[in-house]
Structure 1
Amino acid sequence: MDANPTPQQAADLLSQVEANQSQARSGDAWPLVTLLFVLSAGLSVGLMAVGIIDDNTTQLIIAGAGLSWIIPALVVYLVKALSWSRRSLAILLTWLGVIMIAFVAGVMADSFAAGGPIPFIAAGLLWVAAPVFSLLALRR
């Protein structure tokens, strides 16, 4: 190919670059979506247990089991994320903030007033927010 491409060749090259960028972005999106759903499921189950179970030790064990999913989910995401973009990083950091706020609010509310609805509301919030954040991650 010449150093001076024709307008048609330049347009073809630009469309190829855009296709490659789109493919790289979608490669990052699915591991992020998986991460969001795994974290939502683990923490929601932990919050449901906090709301249902009265024994503090059992609550702690089940909530810890829910929190323990953060580490393998992050490891899988970090290994499988093909292209780091600022957008996916912003979604991930925002999501981590949302789940931590919901988890802390649910646990604290249950410690002040056991049997209240706050842990269930926080778990429901995570179940509703996971698809919303996932759609944001998939939107390019």
Structure 2
Amino acid sequence: MDTTPTPDQAADLLAQVEANERHSRTGDAWPLVTLFFVLSAGLSVGLVAIGVIDDVPTQLIVFFAGLAWLGPALVVYLVKALSWSRRSGIVLFTWLGLILLGTLAGIIADSYATTTPVPYVAAGLLWFAAPVFSFLALRR
């Protein structure tokens, strides 16, 4: 018995593999979008609190309360993502780097001068970054 596929069977198998890859990339994108929006919202609220509130312990409480949404967002992403495509990994790590830089810039700038608008600008950057990177994650 010959197990070598015919050219038509091979073409059908390749088409099936491509359809499965497309489906897994699409399934990977929506949990990634959820992660982008949830974490951006949590960190933005924390940065605005850092800019508005003068009491450092209260600033930290509100900031870490916003950051606490990272756990559930990561759980949703890791449980629901069907695959880790190279493209979604690049988008995720680029976004995480941007989020980290914006957050650190807002926190550091507020620690030097409490009247600086940098925490608000950083929060706005995070709000802007979430839909932009979500669009990149959904674009295939």
Q: TM-score, normalized by length of structure 1?
A: 0.90
1:60 — aligned with what?
A: 60
Find the aligned partners of 1:67 and 1:101 in 2 and give their Cα distance. Answer: 15
Contact 1:52 1:115 in 2 (8 A): no
Q: 1:9 Cα deviation (Å)?
A: 3.9
* Number of aligned residue pairs: 139
Find the aligned partners of 1:85 and 1:14 in 2 and give their Cα distance. Answer: 18
2:30 — aligned with what?
A: 30
The one-letter amino acid of 2:76's match is V
Q: Which moved more, 1:69-78 or 1:100-109?
A: 69-78
Q: 1:59 Cα deviation (Å)?
A: 0.8
Q: 1:138 Cα deviation (Å)?
A: 1.0
1:106 — aligned with what?
A: 106
Contact 1:47 1:106 in 2 (8 A): yes
The one-letter amino acid of 2:120's match is F
Unaligned runs of 5+ in 1: none
Percent identity, aligned pairs only? 70
2:41 — aligned with what?
A: 41
2:71 — aligned with what?
A: 71
The one-letter amino acid of 2:78's match is L
2:18 — aligned with what?
A: 18
The one-character-per-residue Cα deviations of 1:7-55 (angstroms, maximum 9, x if unpaired) are 4443333222211110011111111110011000000000011111111
Find the aligned partners of 2:39 and 2:4 in 1 and give their Cα distance. Answer: 51
| RMSD after superposition | 1.5
Unaligned runs of 5+ in 2: none
Q: TM-score, normalized by length of structure 2?
A: 0.90
Q: Which moved more, 1:57-66 or 1:2-11?
A: 2-11
Find the aligned partners of 1:78 and 1:4 in 2 and give their Cα distance. Answer: 38
SS at match of 2:116: coil
The one-letter amino acid of 1:64's match is F
The one-letter amino acid of 1:98's match is L
The one-letter amino acid of 2:96's match is L
